[in-house]
Amino acid sequence: MKVGLPQALLHYKYYHLWETFFNELGVETVLSPASNKQILNAGVKSAPSEICLPVKIFLGHVKALKDVDKIFVPRVVSVEKGAYTCPKILGLPDIVRGTEGLPPVLAPTIDFTKGKIHFAKAIYNLGAQFSSSPLKIFKAYQAGTKALKRHELKKQEDGLSKTGGLKIGIVSHPYNIYDSFISLDLLKKIKKEDVSIQTSESLDKKIIEDETSSLPKELFWTYEKEVVGTALHWLKTGKVDGIIYLLSFACGPDSLAQVLIEDFAQQYQDVPLMSLVIDEHSAEAGLLTRLEAFLDMIKRRKKIESNHRPDGLSANYARGSVQAA
Amino acid sequence: MKCYLGIDVGSVSTNLVIIDDNSKIISWIYRRTQGQPIKAVQAGISELKELARADIEIKGVGATGSARYLTGVIVGADIVKNEITAHATAATALYPMTRTIIEIGGQDSKIIFLHSSMVVDFAMNTVCAAGTGSFLDHQAARLGIPIEEFGAYALKSQNPAQIAGRCTVFAESDMIHKQQVGCLTEDIVYGLCQSLVRNYLNNLAKGKALEAPVIFQGGVAANLGIKRAFEDALQTEVVVPKYHHVMGAVGSAILAKETTEEGTKPTNFKGFNTSKQKFSTKSFNCSSCENNCEVVKIKQQDKLLACWGGRCGRFEA
């Protein structure tokens, strides 16, 4: 039995969990190749035109999974109490089922709003398709969560250990940040300069939770909470020298989060923020010019700042305390 | 005499500027790129040589604009910088107190916010070129007015017409409608200027305050109608520098001066003879993987100067 895992969307969050889970049950997993032009084209062709870029890419990955018996597309409704995933992630199995010429879809429903028992049942039903032993399924899931924890901890430590050069925080969904084809190699382009990159993965989940619960209204979407909470934390604390907010065109939740984040950036002007919108028509030239200008701006600012203030305190230029100092 | 050369190759115009040790402009060239950046740069350089005094010695070269990398390779630039930094450098050299720079070029528009001669925020137009020089060119041609006289028409207007500026297509149908109902040409022209400014302020400034002094740069700054519309909208004076159309080149010349540390470091400049060299470009689709990258090679006679466009880095020289 071979189960195909599309390397897109929530893959970048939960891959370690599912891979371990399947392998422990003796199921072979096949990963779709890294995103490329062919995958994008296949996705764009089979997706409705108004859908967001990440889902189009997802469909491309599903199409690239040949020679598998089943394709794993969980219906992730909610991963925490009181918040949901975005409507398109929620309906992903249906979108995939509506695409012709594909192997059957393996789509357990993950919904934490219905409690832990509901979740345990979903995992059991999924595992029962490959093993008759409840203990084995339980152990496989345990191994999976352990693998995921290890991965998350490592990401957090990696982020914290980065020092030196400019500190740039990238606020976005992991599927935008780590898919180098979609982000037009943003990470590589930034790393060429003397820059260390921070993401929301290096932040404690408690920090993000605290930031978003201070909003006048709770956000509906778990992954948008991460985006907004991280941006808010960095804007308030100045722990990074600049924030790049990477969002994909036609993403509903992002379009709301963008307004919120840019609003806060007006309030907390010490940390410059730049929004970059990507879509399937994105040209490299525009991205490069903006990125260069943004890093230039921060570098020049830092240079002057360090000349004026050897103590390393923020000189608070945007609000004009320069004259006062 | 120690001098620095700045080159700004954009979508519509190619500008070259020579400045002296005090960042004063000695000579400048403004010409159309006409889709051939290499030829435009070469022609510009040979024109510049004829124009400039015999005793100048180029100690540093900077390149900017959308063809900055190509230009940098061809002339041997000491620094290749984006347009935002170049425009901000030029404006603050001229007016250190500048708080806002409006820059509208052939196909893009920018807004730069400054404080204490330092960029604190910026924005560029996104996918659409409505409200840029090309848009105005197009509409002026449609009205049968030479673009040079466009501003004068706008200044005559008493009752500007309301025109939608969010898109060339909408603006055009609005303009036709206004013509059909008998609006005066000058009112339509100024109405168009106002819609363009509205579009700019909505899309780029996005509600951020444009503090004075406001400097207006780029080719479109020559248009008195747009200047008036900005002044009406912002209720403040908008300053158009004398060399507004070549400010990007001025900025990159100043950056070249900085990079070569006032000419104490050797320059990469290949000399004025560059204009006589033969350059060729070749592009092909690499078929090594599924990405099918479009790779461009730039050659000087048989020598490979540069290569870019590949994602994987195998072509990077």
- State pLDDT tens for residues B15-47: 999 999 999 999 999 999 988 999 999 999 999
Between chain A and chain B, the number of residue pairs with CB atoms below 8 A apart is: 67
* Among A193, A301, A274, A241, residue whose Cα is nearest residue B124: A274
Instruction: Give, in degrees to the nearest 5, the angle at Cα B42 between B36 and B44.
Output: 95
* Among B102, B111, B60, B98, residue whose Cα is nearest residue B81: B60
Sequence-ordered strand ranges (E) for B105-209? 109-115, 118-124
Could you tell me if residue B148 is inside a domain?
yes
Res A282: pLDDT: 66
* B12 and B68 in a common domain: yes
* A79 and A218 in a common domain: no
Res B291: pLDDT: 80
Contact residues on chain A for B118, CB-CB shorter than 8 A: 297, 300-301, 304, 317
| Rama region for A127: left / alpha / beta (φ>0; ψ in -120 to 50; rest) | alpha
> Quick check: A37 and B290 CB within 8 A?
yes
> Quick check: A301 and B206 CB within 8 A?
no
Q: Which residues contact A321 (CB under 8 A, 6 or more apart)?
A: A315
Can you give the residue range of the structural domain that contains B80? 2-89+248-276
* A147 and A176 in a common domain: no
Contact A34, A74 (CB under 8 A): no
Could you tell me if residue B317 is inside a domain?
no
* B126 and B22 in a common domain: no
> Looking at residues B182-200, what average pLDDT do you find?
91
Could you tell me if residue A56 is inside a domain?
yes
pLDDT band of residue B237 (cuts 50, 70, 90) is very high
Contact A166, A298 (CB under 8 A): yes
Last residue in a domain, options A154, A183, A201: A154
Q: Which residues contact B96 (CB under 8 A, 6 or more apart)?
A: B117
- For chain B, what percent of residues have pLDDT higher than 70? 98
Could you tell me if residue A325 is inside a domain?
no
* Residue A313, CA atoms < 13 Å, CB-side half-sphere: 7
Q: Report the length, in residues, of chain B.
A: 317
- 3-class state of residue A30 by DSSP: strand
Residue of B290, B308, B316 to mutate when probing chain A, most A C-beta within 10 A? B290
* Among A164, A77, A162, residue whose Cα is nearest residue A122: A77
Say how far apart CA B31 and CA B13 lie, in whole Å.
Answer: 6
Last residue in a domain, options A110, A131, A154: A154
Res A315: pLDDT: 39
* A235 and A141 in a common domain: no
* A184 and A129 in a common domain: no
Q: Which residues contact B123 (CB under 8 A, 6 or more apart)?
A: B110, B111, B204, B205, B206
User: Which H or E run includes A27?
Assistant: none
Residue in chain A nearest B80 by alpha carbon: A292
Contact B70, B76 (CB under 8 A): no
Contact residues on chain A for B292, CB-CB shorter than 8 A: 37
Contact A24, A144 (CB under 8 A): yes
Contact B295, B284 (CB under 8 A): yes
Structure tokens at A40: 């994008």
Res A208: pLDDT: 92
> Quick check: B85 and A269 CB within 8 A?
no
Last residue in a domain, options A154, A175, A194: A154
Give the count of domains, chain A. 2
* B184 and B107 in a common domain: yes
Say how far apart CA A52 and CA A228 lie, in whole Å.
Answer: 19
Res B127: pLDDT: 60
Estimate to the nearest angstrom the gap between the alpha carbon of A225 and the chain centroid. 11
Res A307: pLDDT: 66
* B223 and B125 in a common domain: yes
* pLDDT beneath 70, residues of chain A: 282, 305-325
Say how far apart CA A193 and CA B277 lie, in whole Å.
Answer: 33
* B233 and B252 in a common domain: no
Where helices occur in chain A by DSSP H, the ranges are: 11-24, 37-46, 53-64, 87-90, 92-97, 116-128, 134-161, 174-177, 186-192, 205-213, 222-237, 252-267, 284-308
* B81 and B108 in a common domain: no
> Looking at residues B88-110, what average pLDDT do you find?
92
> Quick check: A301 and B118 CB within 8 A?
yes
The answer to whether A34 faces chain B, any CB pair under 8 Å, is no
Residue of A262, A290, A297, A306 to mutate when probing chain B, most B C-beta within 10 A? A297
Say how far apart CA B129 and CA B169 lie, in whole Å.
Answer: 12
DSSP-assigned beta bridge partners for residue A169:
A198, A243
Contact B18, B27 (CB under 8 A): yes
Contact residues on chain A for B208, CB-CB shorter than 8 A: 266
Structure tokens at B75: 């002339």
Say how far apart CA A167 and CA A82 lie, in whole Å.
Answer: 33
* Among A310, A145, A169, A323, residue whose Cα is nearest residue A246: A169
* A169 and A146 in a common domain: no
Res B317: pLDDT: 56
Single-letter amino acid, residue B300? Q
Contact B51, B31 (CB under 8 A): no
Can you give the residue range of the structural domain that contains A132? 2-154
Give the count of domains, chain B. 3
Residue in chain A nearest B65 by alpha carbon: A289
Residue whose structure tokens are 């107190």: B97
The answer to whether B176 faces chain A, any CB pair under 8 Å, is no
Contact residues on chain A for B127, CB-CB shorter than 8 A: 281
Res B274: pLDDT: 87
Say how far apart CA A53 and CA A40 lie, in whole Å.
Answer: 9
pLDDT band of residue B135 (cuts 50, 70, 90) is confident
Say how far apart CA B166 and CA A241 lie, in whole Å.
Answer: 34
Residue in chain B nearest A38 by alpha carbon: B290
Could you tell me if residue A324 is inside a domain?
no
The answer to whether A257 faces chain B, any CB pair under 8 Å, is no
Res A322: pLDDT: 29
Interface subset of A 144-173, CB within 8 angstroms of B = none
The answer to whether A39 faces chain B, any CB pair under 8 Å, is yes
CB-based burial of residue B7 (10 Å sphere; 0-12 exposed, 13-18 middle, 19+ buried)? buried
Four-residue CA torsion sign, B173, B128, B91, B117? positive
Structure tokens at B125: 């137009």
> Quick check: A272 and B291 CB within 8 A?
no
Between B120, B291, B292, which is nearest A318 by CB?
A: B120
The answer to whether B291 faces chain A, any CB pair under 8 Å, is yes
* B153 and B79 in a common domain: no
The answer to whether B8 faces chain A, any CB pair under 8 Å, is no
The answer to whether A296 faces chain B, any CB pair under 8 Å, is yes
- CATH classification of the domain holding A143: 3.40.50
* Among A85, A38, A33, A262, residue whose Cα is nearest residue B207: A262
Contact residues on chain A for B83, CB-CB shorter than 8 A: 289, 293
Say how far apart CA A67 and CA B306 lie, in whole Å.
Answer: 42
> Quick check: B116 and A322 CB within 8 A?
yes
CB-based burial of residue B55 (10 Å sphere; 0-12 exposed, 13-18 middle, 19+ buried)? exposed
* B232 and B102 in a common domain: yes
Res A314: pLDDT: 42
* A149 and A188 in a common domain: no
Instruction: Give, in degrees to the nearest 5, the angle at Cα A20 between A95 and A149.
Output: 95
Residue whose structure tokens are 């197009």: B138
Q: What is the rounded end-to-end Cα distance, in angstroms, of chain A?
A: 69
* A75 and A177 in a common domain: no
The answer to whether A205 faces chain B, any CB pair under 8 Å, is no
**β pairing state of A109-111 and A166-171:** unpaired
Backbone angles phi, psi at B130, to 5 degrees: -60, 135
